[in-house]
């Protein structure tokens, strides 16, 4: 039994990509802070400057373009996708990348196959970082079912993140985006069914524990700082994907509040807010996103055009 029943609309496809980019760009100035003062966040929301995205959106754009290019045939070409990600980093290394994934990109650019490059670090285990989950939301537009979206997500993750938790986190975020995109916006989001559906596609004990904790936290409605303690706010997939999910499930019909909550969690703010923003934007559609934020978003036109190609 899945809650995904409603067809994708152009507005919700746009909401998914624009929500991701808004969360990323608004969260970026706070990345790495233990806590975020609400007054600082308000100042950032009202600033006249452009909203500039980081690696989260830059790689989501690469993935979205790849999906649009291959949607009539294979959907995903891993060898090509790996090179396209690595090219994007080479073209814009200043987009706020960390230290880990660029090392993988460097090897790929030097001609090392991605299967070897992804295992060259972290004692051969590969990365369990959130870098594949942060970029994965466009997969929800290409998946033909919940399971298909999760499978495509794992394949897209593998080209940079070999560790199983990096891949579980990516499947979880893509499946959540698929469910948000196809949920019935005229009815309240059924949180227990949503989490139940996610548990069916992410079969891992530590992930099921997090999903159970989210169910309890949705009932308790904690302040963002408590969410960080309960679920994490770091750059690992297990320490950030569930937190973004909570930010969304507490605010499924208010994308701006989902993004604000995710940023106030602190830590990996751009990435947690990008993931929460993608989920909430997919549920509410672009028309419900704050117009004042969208006017400032540097990549808005490109994101809208891609969403239209994928919907």
* Annotated binding-site members: 54-56, 268, 270-271
Does 54 bind ligand F2R (CB under 6 A)? Our answer is yes
Q: Which stretch binds Mg ion (CB under 5 A): 52-60, 161-169, 173-181, 275-283?
A: 52-60
In the bound state with ligand F2R, the residue whose beta carbon lies nearer, of 121 and 199, is 121
In the bound state with Mg ion, the residue whose beta carbon lies nearer, of 129 and 285, is 129
Q: How far is the CB of 40 from ligand F2R (least distance, A)?
A: 18
In the bound state with Mg ion, the residue whose beta carbon lies nearer, of 211 and 272, is 272
Instruction: Please choose which of ligand F2R, Mg ion, none residue 129 contacts, taking the beta carbon within 5 to 8 angstroms, the exact cut-off set by kind.
Output: ligand F2R
Q: How far is the CB of 24 from ligand F2R (least distance, A)?
A: 8
Does 29 bind ligand F2R (CB under 6 A)? Our answer is no
Under 8 Å between Cβ of 273 and 27: yes
Work out the number of other CB atoms within 10 angstroms of the CB of residue 206. 13
Q: How far is the CB of 260 from ligand F2R (least distance, A)?
A: 18
Contact residue for Mg ion among 117, 268, 284, 297 (CB under 5 A): 268
Contact residue for ligand F2R among 4, 15, 25, 55 (CB under 6 A): 55
Size of the site for Mg ion (CB under 5 A): 7
- Binding-site positions for Mg(2+): 54-56, 268, 270-271
Q: Which stretch binds ligand F2R (CB under 6 A): 127-135, 196-204, 241-249, 289-297?
A: 127-135
Does 106 bind ligand F2R (CB under 6 A)? Our answer is no
């Amino acid at each position: 039994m899945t809650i995904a029943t409603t067809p994708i609309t152009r507005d919700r496809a746009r909401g998914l990509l624009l929500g991701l980019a808004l969360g990323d760009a608004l969260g970026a100035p706070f990345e790495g802070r233990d806590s975020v003062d609400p007054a600082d966040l308000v100042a950032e929301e009202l600033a006249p400057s452009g909203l500039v995205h980081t690696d989260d959106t830059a790689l989501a754009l690469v993935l979205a373009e790849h999906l649009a290019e291959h949607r009539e045939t294979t959907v995903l070409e891993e060898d090509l996708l790996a090179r396209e990600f690595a090219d994007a980093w080479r073209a814009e290394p200043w987009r706020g990348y960390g230290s880990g994934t660029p090392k993988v990109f460097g090897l790929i650019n030097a001609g090392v196959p991605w299967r070897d490059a992804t295992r060259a670090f972290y004692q051969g285990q590969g990365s369990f970082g959130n870098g594949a989950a942060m970029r994965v939301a466009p997969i929800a537009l290409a998946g033909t079912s919940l399971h298909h979206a999760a499978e495509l997500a794992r394949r897209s993750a593998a080209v940079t993140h070999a560790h199983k938790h990096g891949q579980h986190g990516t499947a979880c975020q893509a499946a959540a985006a698929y469910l948000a995109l196809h949920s019935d916006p005229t009815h309240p989001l059924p949180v227990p069914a949503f989490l139940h559906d996610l548990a069916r596609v992410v079969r891992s004990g530590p992930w099921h524990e997090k999903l159970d904790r989210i169910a309890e936290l949705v009932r308790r409605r904690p302040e963002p700082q408590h969410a960080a303690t309960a679920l994490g706010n770091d750059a690992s997939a297990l320490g950030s994907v569930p937190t973004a999910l909570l930010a969304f499930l507490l605010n499924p019909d208010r994308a701006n509040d989902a993004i604000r909550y995710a940023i106030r969690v602190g830590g990996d703010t751009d990435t947690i807010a990008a993931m929460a923003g993608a989920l909430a934007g997919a549920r509410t559609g672009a028309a419900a996103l704050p117009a004042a934020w969208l006017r400032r978003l540097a990549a808005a036109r490109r994101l809208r055009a891609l969403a239209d190609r994928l919907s």
